A and B are shown apart, each in its own frame.
Chain A
Amino acid sequence: MQFSKVSGKKNDHKVTLFALSTCVWCKLTKEFLKENNVEFQYVDVDLCSDEDKEQIHEMIQSKGGSLSYPTIIVDDKNVITGFRKDQLKEALGV
Protein backbone atom coordinates (compact mmCIF):
# COMPACT_ATOMS: atom_id res chain seq x y z
CA MET A 1 0.00 0.00 0.00
CA GLN A 2 1.31 3.40 -0.98
CA PHE A 3 1.02 6.17 1.58
CA SER A 4 1.35 9.78 0.41
CA LYS A 5 3.78 11.69 2.59
CA VAL A 6 3.36 15.30 3.63
CA SER A 7 6.41 16.80 5.23
CA GLY A 8 6.23 19.28 8.08
CA LYS A 9 8.44 20.86 10.70
CA LYS A 10 6.52 19.14 13.47
CA ASN A 11 7.70 15.56 13.08
CA ASP A 12 7.98 14.28 16.65
CA HIS A 13 4.96 11.98 16.18
CA LYS A 14 4.22 9.33 13.59
CA VAL A 15 0.87 10.41 12.17
CA THR A 16 -1.06 8.15 9.81
CA LEU A 17 -4.33 9.32 8.31
CA PHE A 18 -6.83 6.99 6.66
CA ALA A 19 -9.09 9.15 4.53
CA LEU A 20 -11.61 9.10 1.70
CA SER A 21 -11.00 11.30 -1.35
CA THR A 22 -14.67 12.36 -1.36
CA CYS A 23 -14.97 13.05 2.37
CA VAL A 24 -15.26 16.65 3.55
CA TRP A 25 -14.08 15.91 7.11
CA CYS A 26 -11.06 14.06 5.75
CA LYS A 27 -10.15 17.10 3.65
CA LEU A 28 -10.46 19.35 6.69
CA THR A 29 -8.23 16.98 8.66
CA LYS A 30 -5.55 17.13 5.97
CA GLU A 31 -5.79 20.94 5.94
CA PHE A 32 -5.61 21.10 9.72
CA LEU A 33 -2.46 18.98 9.81
CA LYS A 34 -0.84 21.03 7.05
CA GLU A 35 -1.78 24.35 8.70
CA ASN A 36 -0.15 23.14 11.88
CA ASN A 37 2.93 22.00 10.03
CA VAL A 38 2.50 18.41 11.17
CA GLU A 39 4.36 15.77 9.19
CA PHE A 40 2.00 12.93 8.27
CA GLN A 41 1.30 10.15 5.84
CA TYR A 42 -2.13 9.44 4.41
CA VAL A 43 -3.99 7.11 2.11
CA ASP A 44 -7.33 7.68 0.38
CA VAL A 45 -8.96 4.32 1.08
CA ASP A 46 -11.65 4.65 -1.61
CA LEU A 47 -8.92 4.78 -4.27
CA CYS A 48 -7.14 1.63 -3.01
CA SER A 49 -7.28 -1.88 -4.44
CA ASP A 50 -9.44 -4.51 -2.74
CA GLU A 51 -6.32 -6.11 -1.34
CA ASP A 52 -5.17 -2.84 0.21
CA LYS A 53 -8.64 -2.16 1.61
CA GLU A 54 -8.55 -5.53 3.33
CA GLN A 55 -5.15 -4.66 4.86
CA ILE A 56 -6.43 -1.27 6.00
CA HIS A 57 -9.44 -2.94 7.59
CA GLU A 58 -7.11 -5.17 9.60
CA MET A 59 -4.79 -2.28 10.49
CA ILE A 60 -7.53 0.00 11.79
CA GLN A 61 -9.33 -2.72 13.71
CA SER A 62 -6.12 -4.07 15.25
CA LYS A 63 -5.60 -0.61 16.80
CA GLY A 64 -9.12 -0.62 18.17
CA GLY A 65 -10.47 1.88 15.63
CA SER A 66 -13.86 1.80 13.98
CA LEU A 67 -14.28 1.88 10.22
CA SER A 68 -15.27 5.54 10.04
CA TYR A 69 -13.26 8.20 8.23
CA PRO A 70 -11.12 10.07 8.85
CA THR A 71 -9.20 7.74 11.16
CA ILE A 72 -5.96 9.15 12.50
CA ILE A 73 -3.44 6.92 14.22
CA VAL A 74 -0.78 8.70 16.25
CA ASP A 75 2.42 6.81 17.13
CA ASP A 76 0.81 3.47 16.15
CA LYS A 77 -1.42 3.45 19.21
CA ASN A 78 -3.57 6.53 19.72
CA VAL A 79 -6.64 6.29 17.44
CA ILE A 80 -8.76 9.33 16.71
CA THR A 81 -11.96 8.81 14.72
CA GLY A 82 -13.48 11.79 12.96
CA PHE A 83 -12.20 15.33 12.58
CA ARG A 84 -11.84 16.16 16.29
CA LYS A 85 -9.68 19.25 16.54
CA ASP A 86 -9.39 19.08 20.32
CA GLN A 87 -8.28 15.45 20.31
CA LEU A 88 -5.81 16.13 17.49
CA LYS A 89 -4.36 19.14 19.28
CA GLU A 90 -3.92 17.17 22.47
CA ALA A 91 -2.40 14.13 20.79
CA LEU A 92 -0.03 16.18 18.62
CA GLY A 93 0.76 18.98 21.04
CA VAL A 94 -0.19 21.75 18.59
Chain B
Amino acid sequence: MITIEQVRKRAEADAKTYGYYLTPQPELLQAFLEGLKTNEDRYGYPLCPCRLTSGVFEFDRDIICPCDYRDPDVAEYGACYCRLYVNKQVFESQNLPEVPERRPMEKQARAYGTQPASKPASPRGEEKSRAPTQPLAQASKAQPAVKKKLWYCKQCGYVVFREDPPYICPICKAKRELFAEIESTVEFNG
Protein backbone atom coordinates (compact mmCIF):
# COMPACT_ATOMS: atom_id res chain seq x y z
CA MET B 1 0.00 0.00 0.00
CA ILE B 2 1.38 3.41 -0.97
CA THR B 3 2.07 6.01 1.72
CA ILE B 4 1.15 9.70 1.69
CA GLU B 5 4.87 10.51 1.63
CA GLN B 6 5.36 8.44 -1.53
CA VAL B 7 2.39 10.19 -3.16
CA ARG B 8 3.84 13.55 -2.14
CA LYS B 9 7.32 12.77 -3.45
CA ARG B 10 5.94 11.54 -6.75
CA ALA B 11 3.86 14.70 -7.20
CA GLU B 12 6.77 16.93 -6.22
CA ALA B 13 9.09 15.18 -8.68
CA ASP B 14 6.53 15.48 -11.46
CA ALA B 15 5.93 19.17 -10.75
CA LYS B 16 9.67 19.79 -10.86
CA THR B 17 10.06 17.95 -14.17
CA TYR B 18 7.40 20.10 -15.81
CA GLY B 19 8.29 23.38 -14.12
CA TYR B 20 5.06 23.43 -12.09
CA TYR B 21 4.38 23.87 -8.39
CA LEU B 22 2.07 22.02 -6.02
CA THR B 23 -0.85 23.96 -4.58
CA PRO B 24 0.49 26.55 -2.12
CA GLN B 25 -1.83 25.89 0.85
CA PRO B 26 -0.50 23.00 2.99
CA GLU B 27 -3.95 21.82 4.23
CA LEU B 28 -5.30 21.69 0.69
CA LEU B 29 -2.20 19.89 -0.55
CA GLN B 30 -2.50 17.30 2.20
CA ALA B 31 -6.16 16.71 1.28
CA PHE B 32 -5.29 16.26 -2.42
CA LEU B 33 -2.57 13.75 -1.56
CA GLU B 34 -4.97 11.83 0.69
CA GLY B 35 -7.54 11.72 -2.12
CA LEU B 36 -4.93 10.38 -4.53
CA LYS B 37 -3.82 7.77 -2.01
CA THR B 38 -7.42 6.66 -1.41
CA ASN B 39 -7.97 6.22 -5.13
CA GLU B 40 -4.70 4.36 -5.60
CA ASP B 41 -5.58 2.02 -2.72
CA ARG B 42 -9.06 1.57 -4.15
CA TYR B 43 -8.34 1.17 -7.87
CA GLY B 44 -4.62 0.45 -8.12
CA TYR B 45 -3.74 3.72 -9.81
CA PRO B 46 -3.81 7.35 -8.63
CA LEU B 47 -7.04 8.56 -10.21
CA CYS B 48 -8.00 12.21 -10.05
CA PRO B 49 -9.61 12.81 -6.64
CA CYS B 50 -11.89 15.50 -8.09
CA ARG B 51 -13.58 13.40 -10.76
CA LEU B 52 -15.94 10.43 -10.72
CA THR B 53 -14.16 7.28 -11.86
CA SER B 54 -15.58 4.19 -13.51
CA GLY B 55 -13.11 1.71 -12.04
CA VAL B 56 -12.47 0.46 -15.60
CA PHE B 57 -8.86 1.20 -16.47
CA GLU B 58 -9.46 1.95 -20.15
CA PHE B 59 -12.24 4.40 -19.27
CA ASP B 60 -10.20 6.10 -16.57
CA ARG B 61 -6.72 6.30 -18.05
CA ASP B 62 -7.12 9.92 -19.17
CA ILE B 63 -7.75 10.95 -15.52
CA ILE B 64 -4.84 9.13 -13.90
CA CYS B 65 -2.94 11.92 -12.16
CA PRO B 66 -1.29 13.81 -13.76
CA CYS B 67 -4.27 13.69 -16.10
CA ASP B 68 -4.32 14.32 -19.85
CA TYR B 69 -5.85 17.72 -19.21
CA ARG B 70 -3.28 19.09 -16.76
CA ASP B 71 -0.83 20.57 -19.24
CA PRO B 72 -3.37 22.47 -21.36
CA ASP B 73 -5.17 23.61 -18.18
CA VAL B 74 -2.01 24.92 -16.54
CA ALA B 75 -1.08 26.63 -19.81
CA GLU B 76 -4.51 28.29 -20.11
CA TYR B 77 -5.60 28.89 -16.50
CA GLY B 78 -2.42 28.56 -14.43
CA ALA B 79 -3.67 25.44 -12.64
CA CYS B 80 -5.04 21.95 -13.30
CA TYR B 81 -8.73 21.13 -12.83
CA CYS B 82 -8.17 20.10 -9.17
CA ARG B 83 -5.69 22.92 -8.60
CA LEU B 84 -3.14 20.47 -7.27
CA TYR B 85 -0.65 21.54 -9.95
CA VAL B 86 -0.20 25.28 -10.49
CA ASN B 87 2.23 27.53 -12.31
CA LYS B 88 4.70 29.89 -10.65
CA GLN B 89 2.41 32.92 -10.86
CA VAL B 90 -0.48 31.18 -9.13
CA PHE B 91 1.86 29.63 -6.56
CA GLU B 92 3.27 33.02 -5.62
CA SER B 93 -0.05 34.88 -5.60
CA GLN B 94 -1.80 32.00 -3.72
CA ASN B 95 -4.86 32.99 -5.69
CA LEU B 96 -6.29 29.76 -7.11
CA PRO B 97 -8.20 30.26 -10.38
CA GLU B 98 -11.48 28.61 -11.37
CA VAL B 99 -10.70 25.89 -13.91
CA PRO B 100 -13.58 24.56 -16.02
CA GLU B 101 -13.80 20.85 -16.88
CA ARG B 102 -11.97 20.14 -20.14
CA ARG B 103 -12.66 16.39 -20.14
CA PRO B 104 -15.18 15.65 -22.89
CA MET B 105 -18.70 14.84 -21.65
CA GLU B 106 -18.61 11.56 -23.57
CA LYS B 107 -15.72 10.39 -21.37
CA GLN B 108 -17.25 11.73 -18.15
CA ALA B 109 -20.44 9.79 -18.89
CA ARG B 110 -18.54 6.49 -18.93
CA ALA B 111 -18.32 6.60 -15.14
CA TYR B 112 -22.09 6.16 -14.88
CA GLY B 113 -23.89 2.88 -15.31
CA THR B 114 -21.19 0.86 -17.02
CA GLN B 115 -23.17 -2.27 -16.22
CA PRO B 116 -25.47 -3.15 -19.14
CA ALA B 117 -28.42 -3.96 -16.84
CA SER B 118 -28.59 -0.42 -15.50
CA LYS B 119 -28.53 1.32 -18.87
CA PRO B 120 -31.70 2.79 -20.34
CA ALA B 121 -32.54 1.72 -23.88
CA SER B 122 -32.59 5.19 -25.37
CA PRO B 123 -29.19 6.70 -26.12
CA ARG B 124 -28.40 10.07 -24.63
CA GLY B 125 -26.89 12.96 -26.54
CA GLU B 126 -23.35 12.51 -25.34
CA GLU B 127 -23.25 8.96 -26.60
CA LYS B 128 -24.14 9.75 -30.17
CA SER B 129 -20.55 10.26 -31.22
CA ARG B 130 -19.62 6.72 -30.28
CA ALA B 131 -19.14 4.14 -32.98
CA PRO B 132 -22.51 2.48 -33.67
CA THR B 133 -20.98 -0.97 -33.33
CA GLN B 134 -19.93 -0.23 -29.75
CA PRO B 135 -22.64 1.72 -27.96
CA LEU B 136 -22.13 2.42 -24.29
CA ALA B 137 -25.11 0.25 -23.47
CA GLN B 138 -23.13 -2.80 -24.54
CA ALA B 139 -19.97 -1.84 -22.71
CA SER B 140 -19.29 -3.90 -19.66
CA LYS B 141 -16.61 -3.66 -17.01
CA ALA B 142 -15.00 -6.76 -18.45
CA GLN B 143 -14.82 -5.48 -22.03
CA PRO B 144 -14.34 -1.74 -22.25
CA ALA B 145 -15.37 -0.37 -25.65
CA VAL B 146 -12.34 1.79 -26.24
CA LYS B 147 -10.66 1.73 -29.64
CA LYS B 148 -6.97 2.50 -29.37
CA LYS B 149 -4.93 3.75 -32.30
CA LEU B 150 -1.32 4.56 -33.07
CA TRP B 151 -0.61 8.28 -33.22
CA TYR B 152 2.66 10.03 -34.02
CA CYS B 153 3.90 13.54 -33.45
CA LYS B 154 4.74 15.08 -36.79
CA GLN B 155 7.23 17.38 -35.09
CA CYS B 156 9.43 14.93 -33.15
CA GLY B 157 8.23 11.45 -34.12
CA TYR B 158 6.94 10.42 -30.66
CA VAL B 159 4.51 7.53 -31.03
CA VAL B 160 1.64 6.76 -28.68
CA PHE B 161 -0.96 3.94 -28.67
CA ARG B 162 -4.09 5.43 -27.14
CA GLU B 163 -7.68 6.35 -27.85
CA ASP B 164 -6.76 9.99 -28.55
CA PRO B 165 -3.47 11.77 -29.15
CA PRO B 166 -2.16 13.86 -26.21
CA TYR B 167 -3.13 17.51 -25.95
CA ILE B 168 0.56 18.41 -25.82
CA CYS B 169 3.41 16.17 -26.97
CA PRO B 170 5.29 15.09 -23.81
CA ILE B 171 8.58 15.11 -25.72
CA CYS B 172 8.62 18.28 -27.83
CA LYS B 173 5.52 20.11 -26.49
CA ALA B 174 3.87 20.23 -29.93
CA LYS B 175 0.11 20.78 -29.82
CA ARG B 176 -2.43 18.02 -30.46
CA GLU B 177 -3.02 19.31 -33.99
CA LEU B 178 0.46 18.11 -34.90
CA PHE B 179 -0.43 14.49 -34.19
CA ALA B 180 -1.52 12.21 -37.00
CA GLU B 181 -2.85 8.67 -36.97
CA ILE B 182 -0.56 5.96 -38.25
CA GLU B 183 -2.59 4.02 -40.76
CA SER B 184 -1.93 0.33 -40.48
CA THR B 185 -3.15 -2.80 -42.20
CA VAL B 186 -2.31 -4.76 -39.06
CA GLU B 187 -4.81 -4.93 -36.18
CA PHE B 188 -3.37 -3.99 -32.79
CA ASN B 189 -4.75 -5.13 -29.49
CA GLY B 190 -3.77 -4.34 -25.95
Which A residues are within 8 Å of any B CB, using their own CB? 20-25, 27, 45-46, 50-51, 53-54, 56-57, 66-69, 82
Q: Is the CB–CB distance between A54 and B113 below 8 Å?
A: yes
Q: Is the CB–CB distance between B50 and A53 below 8 Å?
A: no
Q: Is the CB–CB distance between A69 and B31 below 8 Å?
A: no
Q: Give the distance in Å from the alpha carbon of A45 to the alpha carbon of B32 in the complex.
A: 18
Q: Is the CB–CB distance between A53 and B52 below 8 Å?
A: yes
A72 CB to nearest B CB, Å: 15
Stretch in contact with the other chain, from B1-9, B14-22, B114-122, B150-158: B114-122
Chain B interface, number of residues (Cβ within 8 angstroms): 27
Q: Is the CB–CB distance between B49 and A23 below 8 Å?
A: yes
Q: Is the CB–CB distance between B49 and A53 below 8 Å?
A: no
Q: Give the distance in Å from the alpha carbon of A51 to the alpha carbon of B112 in the complex.
A: 8
Q: Is the CB–CB distance between A67 and B50 below 8 Å?
A: no
Q: Is the CB–CB distance between B109 and A67 below 8 Å?
A: yes
Interface-central residue, B31, B32, B82, B112, by most chain A CB under 10 Å: B112
Is B13 an interface residue when CB atoms closer than 8 A count as contact? no
Query: Besides the contacts A20-B49, A24-B50, A50-B115, what 6 more A-B pairs have beta carbons closer than 8 Å?
Result: A24-B35, A45-B52, A50-B113, A57-B113, A68-B51, A69-B52
Interface residue from A24, A27, A57 paired with B109 (Cβ < 8 Å) = A57
Q: Give the distance in Å from the alpha carbon of A25 to the alpha carbon of B49 in the complex.
A: 10
Interface residue from A50, A56, A69 paired with B50 (Cβ < 8 Å) = A69
Is B138 an interface residue when CB atoms closer than 8 A count as contact? no
Query: Using a CB-CB cutoff of 8 Å, which residues 10-62 of chain B contact chain A?
Result: 28, 31-32, 34-36, 38-39, 49-53
Is B98 an interface residue when CB atoms closer than 8 A count as contact? yes
B62 CB to nearest A CB, Å: 15
Nearest neighbor of B27 in chain A, beta-carbon distance: A24
Q: Is the CB–CB distance between B31 and A53 below 8 Å?
A: no
Q: List 14 A-B contacts (CB under 8 A).
A: A20-B49, A22-B39, A23-B35, A24-B31, A50-B112, A51-B113, A57-B112, A57-B113, A67-B52, A67-B108, A67-B111, A69-B50, A69-B52, A82-B98
